[in-house]
Amino acid sequence: MRSALQDKRNDHGADEPPSGAPSGASSERRTCLVCGRPGTDGPVILGKRLCAACERAIVDLDVGGRDYDFFVARIREAWRSFAGVEQ
């Protein structure tokens, strides 16, 4: 089953974040660990940024919902990358 984020692809094949992302005050641009878009909003987790739109989507997730496995996989990838674990 595809997630809502997997259904939203731009012309370059990158995920588009959920709409309605508020802008943040951080001045350092980092790539979101979930959707891959560069920006300055949202917290930095494991050395990667979590954009405000993806943060809100995670907060609103229902365990077992259609996007749950997608977000778990992305966070797991970020953790493995941070820890230097081969996949």
User: Mind listing the pLDDT tens digit for each residue in 55-74?
Assistant: 999 999 999 888 999 999 99
Show the low-confidence residues of the chain (pLDDT under 70). 1-28, 86-87
Q: Quick check: 85 and 76 in contact, CB under 8 A?
A: no
Answer whether 0.75 is exceeded by the pTM. Answer: no
Residues in CB range of 60: below 8 A, 6 or more apart: none
Structural domain count of the chain: 1
From the number of C-beta atoms within 10 Å of its C-beta (0-12, 13-18, 19+), residue 50 rates as: buried
Q: Residue 79 belongs to what domain range?
A: 4-83
Q: What is the pLDDT of residue 84?
A: 86
Count CA within 13 A, CB hemisphere, residue 31: 9
